[in-house]
Amino acid sequence: MTSRRALFSVVASSILLAACATAPNLDPQPPIVFVHGNGDSASIWQSTVWRFESNGWPRERLHAIDLPYPLARDEDGKAQPGRTSTAEHMAYLKAEVEKVLQATGARQVVLIGNSRGGNAVRNYIYNGGGASRVSHAILGGTPNHGVWAIKGFREANEFSGTGPFLTGLNAPKNTAGDEVTGPVKWLTLRSDNNDKFAQPDGLWIGAKGTPTNVTFEGPALKGATNKVLPRVDHRETSFSPAAFDATYRFITGRAPQSTTIQPETPVVLNGKIIGLGLRPTDAASGNYANNLPLPGAQLAVYATDPATGARMGNAVHSKTVGADGLWGPFTARAGVPYEFVITAPGYATTHIYRSPFPRSSQLIHLRADRPAEADKSAKSSTTLTRPRGYFDATRDKMSFDGKALPGVPPTGAGVSSSKINLSQDSVRPIAAEFNGEKVTGRTWPMAEGHLVVLELTY
């Protein structure tokens, strides 16, 4: 009897070990790698990371990448200063995934990509060996069938639905014609009709009235779980509370405790100071956003009055950044808005005003700016920007300096920034409100080399 029990125990243990060896990633909180979109940075995932943290996800298992040159090339196979090819994008993501796996000891990661970031996710899984390294892939607003699909029109671009890059990714993977392959679990999130890059008309690509041959369903993939989020815009397919809810459920199999961001103390902030690439005088291709640190840039941080934007005393933090570009750490006070002032050679003195920070973050990237040629005659220039979404006049309650937002169309969500150029010399408060979030700054004189940015968090 004893020998029988011992034999049964050995057999049972062998079966259990074999099952564990072939089982999918059962980590209840696997490491997540977030992949930003075209022209964006890791900072765009700030509120999404906060939502995961608010639901108990360990901070050290949430990693947002910063592609040094985040803009796609005009022609994928042709070198272009300050831009990346699909192959370079995939190689960077692959290296970052390996770093995260090594740091966490995990066998697999979850990949979450927005827009162009989803192109890199798909390319890595299909062509870069990522199928064994990834358990779940979530794509928000990724133009999986192109921003346009017009034979003979810019087919060398990675966003062409008839070009070699996307037709290769979309080739049937089995007899059912699926565009995705296992064992990775796939989720796509898309808007019903409000994504500027999934439109049947070419308005947002500068070809109004021309069919794109892409439908609202363009981000969906055959064989994936495809979810529609009503009325969200292109970026909100990844960064909205609804997108977080769908993502969390897909990864864990259960609803999050909350989609709201839970406050914490202390609030410790950090991030990089980044700039722009080529100046318009350096190349015909113009001024490129990049995610490279800006060594030597100086930062001063001021607490501000929420009603007037006026500084509440001297700088509460200051630093000249080094080669890594990091401007912190800085411990912020709960409920206090801040002004971040960047000075760097070749840039305007850039004043960035932010509403209070509810949680700590290493993703508070700050971009030094330069004035546009058309704005240089203004007495002051203030830009309102919403990095994690667009402005929709038919959906959102918003105002800028007490008025409707200049440059925002009456319908559709197609722009994420609005600018006011003032012709008066006076220095005064200038405020914006978006769906309950309010940011108040001060105008600064353009003649003395100042630019103002009111940056929304939500």
CA distance 155 to 160: 5
Question: Tens digit of pLDDT for each residue in 84-104?
Answer: 999 999 999 999 999 999 999
Question: Do 231 and 360 belong together in one domain?
Answer: no
CA distance 421 to 168: 46
Instruction: State the sign of the Cα–Cα–Cα–Cα dihedral 95, 101, 107, 113.
Output: negative
Question: Tens digit of pLDDT for each residue in 358-379?
Answer: 999 999 999 999 999 989 999 9
CB neighbours (10 Å) of residue 26? 9
The pLDDT, as a whole number, for residue 87 is 98
Question: Do 431 and 353 belong together in one domain?
Answer: yes
> Is 333 domain-assigned?
yes
Question: Do 220 and 289 belong together in one domain?
Answer: no
What confidence category does residue 26 fall into, taking pLDDT thresholds of 50, 70 and 90?
Answer: low
Question: Do 78 and 157 belong together in one domain?
Answer: yes
What confidence category does residue 278 fall into, taking pLDDT thresholds of 50, 70 and 90?
Answer: low
pLDDT at residue 298 tops 90: yes
Question: Tens digit of pLDDT for each residue in 46-83?
Answer: 999 999 999 999 999 999 999 999 999 999 999 999 99
> Is 5 domain-assigned?
no
| 8 Å CB contact between 71 and 80 | no
Closest CA to 417 of 359, 456, 371, 361: 456
337's tokens: 């808005």
- 326: helix, coil or strand? strand
Question: Do 204 and 319 belong together in one domain?
Answer: no
> Is 11 domain-assigned?
no
Q: Whose structure tokens read 């006026």? A: 310
pLDDT at residue 282 tops 60: no
Question: Do 247 and 317 belong together in one domain?
Answer: no
Question: Do 235 and 296 belong together in one domain?
Answer: no
What confidence category does residue 285 fall into, taking pLDDT thresholds of 50, 70 and 90?
Answer: very low
Q: Whose structure tokens read 């330069």? A: 370
**Domain end (from 195, 228, 252):** 252
**Domain end (from 252, 287, 310):** 252
User: What mean pLDDT do residues 232-245 have?
Assistant: 98
CB neighbours (10 Å) of residue 388? 22
CA distance 366 to 242: 27
Question: Do 332 and 245 belong together in one domain?
Answer: no
Question: Do 356 and 218 belong together in one domain?
Answer: no
What confidence category does residue 130 fall into, taking pLDDT thresholds of 50, 70 and 90?
Answer: very high
pLDDT at residue 18 tops 80: no
Question: Do 290 and 248 belong together in one domain?
Answer: no
CA distance 251 to 28: 9
Q: What CATH number does the domain containing 72 carry?
A: 3.40.50.1820
CB neighbours (10 Å) of residue 92? 19
pLDDT at residue 13 tops 70: no
**Domain end (from 252, 275, 296):** 252
Question: Do 167 and 275 belong together in one domain?
Answer: no
Question: Tens digit of pLDDT for each residue in 334-358?
Answer: 999 999 999 999 999 999 999 999 9
> Is 4 domain-assigned?
no
Q: What CATH number does the domain containing 301 carry?
A: 2.60.40.2190
Structural domain total, the chain = 2
> Is 16 domain-assigned?
no
Give the DSSP per-residue string, 352-387: EEEPPP-S-BS---EE-----GGGTTSSEEEEEE-T
What confidence category does residue 243 fall into, taking pLDDT thresholds of 50, 70 and 90?
Answer: very high
Question: Tens digit of pLDDT for each residue in 131-186?
Answer: 999 999 999 999 999 999 999 999 999 999 999 999 999 999 999 999 999 899 99
Question: Tens digit of pLDDT for each residue in 399-440?
Answer: 999 999 999 999 989 999 999 999 988 899 999 999 999 999
Please compute, for residue 383, the number of CA atoms within 13 A of its CA located in the half-sphere on the CB side. Answer: 21
Please compute, for residue 30, the number of CA atoms within 13 A of its CA located in the half-sphere on the CB side. Answer: 25
pLDDT at residue 226 tops 60: yes
DSSP state, 216?
T
The pLDDT, as a whole number, for residue 189 is 99
Mean pLDDT of the chain: 92
CA distance 273 to 387: 16
The pLDDT, as a whole number, for residue 288 is 72
> Is 22 domain-assigned?
no
- The parent domain of residue 397 ranges over 267-455
Question: Do 285 and 198 belong together in one domain?
Answer: no
The pLDDT, as a whole number, for residue 204 is 87
DSSP state, 31?
-
pLDDT at residue 209 tops 70: yes
pLDDT at residue 280 tops 50: no
Amino acid letter, 101: L
> Is 12 domain-assigned?
no
CA distance 23 to 7: 24
